[in-house]
Chains A and B, each alone.
Chain A
């Protein structure tokens, strides 16, 4: 046949086509990874299972921080069909342009994967939306939780949740952009316990984005760990009462149970409603709070450093007694030439000196501590004396950051030789340079938390447990351990101090008679923190009852002058409410609640802001 050779042409063609196919298949399946990546991108989903964040309870099981559901409206662009943009915009309460823009953005991210379309729709709003959402294929809701504060108290100590910062994402491999993290307060301090650990599931979805099964039998999945609840020593009622009493005043209250170091109330004023920093309104409100002239974001209880004032005289007395430079019976005349004082009978012993809060008396006491004549040179002598003195004072928890379970506490200052050497030069200072420390003015500074701890030390007659809020993590019985510290002053000297403090409130002529509570022996001490910018700050520390004290407290009221006027009655009301569960002095209470000490401040406007709908 003439055309028999054509069989070879045809066979060659078949072989050539098969060869081309095989080469192409080799390229597609073995060489080019793009297709594997695309298949995984389209059909595999990483689902992050966020554990619910731990709740925070007060000492009686009242919820201070809880979780509430909100809904994110998600969109899968590929599933979206033609829809009425205007209707959807109205349903979600956004503009039609928003709808268009967000859809474009979602498309740019991925056609197959869900993107957030509208964040944090509250349960109330969602009830209306959910009825109509089915009309918009490709859109669906995904629930998650936000913080909610049933009592609306304790904003500063609780902290809030915020989106994690870029820096944190780079530092800590746990966090991804968009995660929430605790900021400030317990939310920050106990972040790892509260947040738990997220789980990750890898699933395979079908073309309609329905989950069809685990990826690779779930071998890459990781199990999440639920967030742990925090059980605190806070008394929600007392905290709320304290915040009410401090309304329209600047200052702070720290109340402790001296036996455990557990914090009962931690009030900072002015404060803000913790609900303001939740969800979509957070950024706006945070800005408003930041610009507020009263600085409500400032945590006075932990960060405001004041001179301790007269209360420091108690520490001076104890140190001097322990050192043996005075005895309980030592008396000094009220020599106003040394340092100013008010008119009172002469303090013939330590107890009276405390009762009268006599400045020249404690000038002499401090002088004896600093000038012990261990060195003929008075400058060198002062160094020796101050070093000795510093050791005692620091044993009261002063001059160092309180080991409280909150992130932002400041430590105040106990001036030591290094400090004065730096300021005046070595050998450039002596007692005459630093004498104002004797009465708690000058370079010495404390924060209210340290003041309350001081009250606890007096109550315990010489020891304290580090103040703290959380008593148990995860389970009410899983107690946390807090360290017990002993001062360098022997216990028996403290009875003197307690007696002096009793006289301050109970005896005629005491400076804090307003702190008396019917039926309870209150020990207290007023103080005045000098304020170079205006009216002095009043402070009152106290504990009660005198025997077996159950509460120790420090109350600061800024710019209120004398401690007995505002600080002592507020402390008294709080202690009465805590100890006896009643208020026997409604008139006093009314006066304290209604007092507005900041009405005349410039720029002051009542705080108004957006609030999250509930």
Chain B
């Protein structure tokens, strides 16, 4: 036991641990500032948010130390039970939980509220890792179906609680699947679809005059027309300049693109019009800059940008972020915590935080790539992907590059469940990585 512990301490990845601790304490200091109340300056005053956060940070440190004690095999074996418990808890949320802000995503356990979805991320990562590491290769419909099912089961339950943001974060696992062999075309397809969706949204509000025809058509039909013309041109180009043997494959591709886009645009229009609620439509519209609504849904985004923008190059100084402190930014201790960074520490601070997160994610990938164990590698990608997606959406939302989707910034946002969830994710990676030299598999 002593030997194991010594080897753990010796083999713990120091850069990753350091990055974790750095971000953890930066986040802590930030919560203190965001919720600072001169009447309750005590860091452990549980009447204040930072008091609670302090308690949770201690919990996290203890939990992290505990994870270091357990054996890697135990973690692997815990995957399925943890996943099952998570699903059970998620299933209980819509039944027992209370609605907060349009979402039902937490359970009251005695004095603490927990968000099972935050733990479900960790459990899903473990189970997915376990399943994928057991495969020879990520191939075949059955494999894909099982992997998809593992991911979609918690997503489905989370969507029952209307927590779209958290459900979206499970999309991070696509990156893991890609690393393990999912066709890149699927990712490209996804990106292509996203571009089409955005284009049709932008164009659907405007009418276009068609020359030589004397009629006006709405944007999405105009878009289909443009795509058709492009395809016809491509067809002509191929028939003239491409070798005969390759033509057939390219013709097929063009045909697929044409029919696919037309169907997608029409279907998307239908879904947008009939399935999405007004609220969601506006929210998407605001993000795309189609709807200007600074007092309504655009308010959050506008205030967030104002807070960050007002920080300037070096910020207003610690505890001096008046714009965030005087509640101009809604949810500024949770979803919009990045605003406090931006206002008090300026461009210097925000850049540092982005760079620290970037380094953390890249370090996770690096750790994954140095493993002999497939399990640890895949798991490392899960961790990296989850952090990446959170960073992308949360910071992107705060600076107006992504729609306002309420998900936390890892280790910064107020809330025990997410703090514990991200700590478990990282601690487990450190623990598994520390074993790499003693693992022969």
Task: Report A's interface with B, CB cutoff 8 A.
Answer: 2-4, 6-7, 9-11, 13-15, 17-18, 20-22, 24-26, 28-30, 32, 34-36, 38-40, 42-43, 78, 111, 204-208, 212
Contact yes or no, A25 B351, CB < 8 A: yes
- Please list the 3 inter-chain residue pairs (A to B) with the smallest Cβ-Cβ separation, ordered nearest first: A35-B309, A206-B326, A39-B310
Name the one of B181, B184, B327, B365 contacting A7, with C-beta atoms under 8 angstroms: B365
> Smallest Cβ distance from A103 to chain B, in angstroms?
14
Among A7, A26, A28, A208, find the residue whose CB has the most chain B CB atoms closer than 10 A: A28
Cβ–Cβ < 8 Å partners of B346 in chain A:
29
Asked if B361 is at the interface (CB within 8 A of a chain A CB), the reply is yes
Contact yes or no, B354 A29, CB < 8 A: no
Name the one of B306, B311, B326, B358 contacting A15, with C-beta atoms under 8 angstroms: B358
What is the bound-complex CA distance between A16 and B41, given in angstroms? 40
Contact yes or no, A28 B328, CB < 8 A: no
Q: Chain B: how many interface residues by the 8 Å CB criterion?
A: 46
What is the bound-complex CA distance between A9 and B388, given in angstroms? 14
Name the one of B181, B388, B401 contacting A20, with C-beta atoms under 8 angstroms: B401
Cβ–Cβ < 8 Å partners of B361 in chain A:
14
Contact yes or no, B354 A10, CB < 8 A: no
- Listed A/B pairs (26) with beta-carbon separation below 8 Å: A6-B179, A10-B381, A14-B358, A14-B388, A15-B362, A17-B388, A18-B354, A21-B354, A22-B355, A24-B401, A25-B350, A25-B351, A28-B309, A28-B399, A29-B312, A29-B346, A38-B306, A38-B309, A39-B310, A42-B328, A43-B322, A43-B323, A43-B326, A111-B295, A206-B327, A212-B322
Asked if B178 is at the interface (CB within 8 A of a chain A CB), the reply is yes
> Smallest Cβ distance from A18 to chain B, in angstroms?
4
Contact yes or no, A207 B328, CB < 8 A: yes
What is the bound-complex CA distance between A144 and B342, given in angstroms? 41
Among A15, A25, A26, A40, find the residue whose CB has the most chain B CB atoms closer than 10 A: A25
Contact yes or no, A3 B396, CB < 8 A: no
Closest partner residue, chain B, to A208 (CB atom): B327
Name the one of A6, A24, A40 contacting B399, with C-beta atoms under 8 angstroms: A24
Among B326, B361, B392, find the residue whose CB has the most chain A CB atoms closer than 10 A: B326
What is the bound-complex CA distance between A111 and B362, given in angstroms? 45
Cβ–Cβ < 8 Å partners of A11 in chain B:
362, 365
A-B contact sample (17 more), CB < 8 A, given A14-B362, A32-B309: A2-B181, A3-B181, A7-B365, A9-B178, A18-B355, A22-B355, A24-B399, A25-B347, A25-B350, A25-B351, A25-B354, A28-B400, A29-B342, A30-B347, A36-B312, A38-B310, A42-B328
What is the bound-complex CA distance between A11 and B381, given in angstroms? 11
What is the bound-complex CA distance between A157 and B361, given in angstroms? 82
What is the bound-complex CA distance between A39 and B181, given in angstroms? 48
> Smallest Cβ distance from B348 to chain A, in angstroms?
9
Cβ–Cβ < 8 Å partners of B395 in chain A:
21
What is the bound-complex CA distance between A22 and B399, given in angstroms? 10
Contact yes or no, A207 B326, CB < 8 A: yes
> Smallest Cβ distance from A161 to chain B, in angstroms?
37
Q: Taking A11-B365, A28-B399 as contacts, is the C-beta distance between A35 and B355 under 8 angstroms?
A: no
Cβ–Cβ < 8 Å partners of B308 in chain A:
25, 28-29, 35
Asked if B22 is at the interface (CB within 8 A of a chain A CB), the reply is no
B164-209 contacts to A, CB under 8 A, are 175, 178-181, 184
What is the bound-complex CA distance between A123 and B184, given in angstroms? 77
Cβ–Cβ < 8 Å partners of A32 in chain B:
309
B320-354 contacts to A, CB under 8 A, are 322-323, 325-328, 342, 346-347, 350-351, 354
What is the bound-complex CA distance between A14 and B365, given in angstroms? 10
Asked if B369 is at the interface (CB within 8 A of a chain A CB), the reply is yes
What is the bound-complex CA distance between A210 and B326, given in angstroms? 9
Closest partner residue, chain B, to A44 (CB atom): B322
Name the one of B310, B327, B365 contacting A35, with C-beta atoms under 8 angstroms: B310
Among A10, A32, A40, find the residue whose CB has the most chain B CB atoms closer than 10 A: A10
Closest partner residue, chain A, to B399 (CB atom): A24
Contact yes or no, A39 B350, CB < 8 A: no
Closest partner residue, chain B, to A77 (CB atom): B295
Contact yes or no, B326 A212, CB < 8 A: yes
Closest partner residue, chain A, to B302 (CB atom): A38
Closest partner residue, chain A, to B295 (CB atom): A111
Cβ–Cβ < 8 Å partners of A21 in chain B:
354, 395-396, 399, 401
Cβ–Cβ < 8 Å partners of B24 in chain A:
none
Contact yes or no, A39 B307, CB < 8 A: yes
Among B178, B295, B305, B310, find the residue whose CB has the most chain A CB atoms closer than 10 A: B310
> Smallest Cβ distance from A146 to chain B, in angstroms?
34
Asked if B21 is at the interface (CB within 8 A of a chain A CB), the reply is no
> Smallest Cβ distance from B378 to chain A, in angstroms?
12
SS of B interface (majority): helix
B357-414 contacts to A, CB under 8 A, are 357-358, 361-362, 365, 368-369, 381, 384, 388, 391-392, 395-396, 399-401
What is the bound-complex CA distance between A205 and B368, given in angstroms? 50
What is the bound-complex CA distance between A462 and B313, given in angstroms? 78
> Smallest Cβ distance from B328 to chain A, in angstroms?
5
> Smallest Cβ distance from B433 to chain A, in angstroms?
16
What is the bound-complex CA distance between A282 and B258, given in angstroms? 76
Closest partner residue, chain B, to A42 (CB atom): B328
Contact yes or no, A36 B310, CB < 8 A: yes
Contact yes or no, B342 A30, CB < 8 A: no
> Smallest Cβ distance from B154 to chain A, in angstroms?
23
Contact yes or no, A29 B309, CB < 8 A: yes
Closest partner residue, chain B, to A18 (CB atom): B358
Cβ–Cβ < 8 Å partners of B369 in chain A:
4, 7
Closest partner residue, chain A, to B309 (CB atom): A35
Cβ–Cβ < 8 Å partners of A17 in chain B:
388, 391-392
What is the bound-complex CA distance between A2 and B181, given in angstroms? 8
What is the bound-complex CA distance between A206 and B361, given in angstroms? 37
What is the bound-complex CA distance between A288 and B184, given in angstroms? 86
Contact yes or no, A39 B358, CB < 8 A: no
Name the one of B184, B305, B309, B327 contacting A207, with C-beta atoms under 8 angstroms: B327
What is the bound-complex CA distance between A17 and B392, given in angstroms? 7
What is the bound-complex CA distance between A481 and B346, given in angstroms? 61
> Smallest Cβ distance from B133 to chain A, in angstroms?
13
Contact yes or no, A204 B322, CB < 8 A: yes
Name the one of A7, A28, A30 contacting B305, with C-beta atoms under 8 angstroms: A28
Cβ–Cβ < 8 Å partners of B350 in chain A:
25, 29
Cβ–Cβ < 8 Å partners of A207 in chain B:
326-328
Contact yes or no, B178 A22, CB < 8 A: no
Against A, the Cβ 8 Å flags (1 = close, 0 = not) of B61-97 are: 0000000000000000000000000000000000000
Contact yes or no, A10 B311, CB < 8 A: no
Cβ–Cβ < 8 Å partners of B180 in chain A:
3
Closest partner residue, chain A, to B364 (CB atom): A14
Cβ–Cβ < 8 Å partners of B347 in chain A:
25-26, 29-30
Cβ–Cβ < 8 Å partners of A13 in chain B:
388
Closest partner residue, chain A, to B138 (CB atom): A3
Cβ–Cβ < 8 Å partners of A6 in chain B:
178-179, 184
Contact yes or no, B178 A39, CB < 8 A: no
Contact yes or no, A204 B362, CB < 8 A: no
What is the bound-complex CA distance between A15 and B359, given in angstroms? 9
What is the bound-complex CA distance between A35 and B354, given in angstroms? 21
What is the bound-complex CA distance between A36 and B307, given in angstroms? 8
Cβ–Cβ < 8 Å partners of B362 in chain A:
11, 14-15
What is the bound-complex CA distance between A42 and B295, given in angstroms? 13
Cβ–Cβ < 8 Å partners of A24 in chain B:
399-401
> Smallest Cβ distance from B35 to chain A, in angstroms?
14
What is the bound-complex CA distance between A111 and B296, given in angstroms? 13
Name the one of B327, B351, B381 contacting A22, with C-beta atoms under 8 angstroms: B351
Contact yes or no, B309 A3, CB < 8 A: no
Cβ–Cβ < 8 Å partners of A29 in chain B:
308-309, 311-313, 342, 346-347, 350
Cβ–Cβ < 8 Å partners of A15 in chain B:
358, 362
Cβ–Cβ < 8 Å partners of A28 in chain B:
305, 308-309, 342, 399-400
Cβ–Cβ < 8 Å partners of A36 in chain B:
309-310, 312
Contact yes or no, A35 B326, CB < 8 A: no
What is the bound-complex CA distance between A550 and B388, given in angstroms? 96
Contact yes or no, B328 A10, CB < 8 A: no
What is the bound-complex CA distance between A495 and B311, given in angstroms? 85
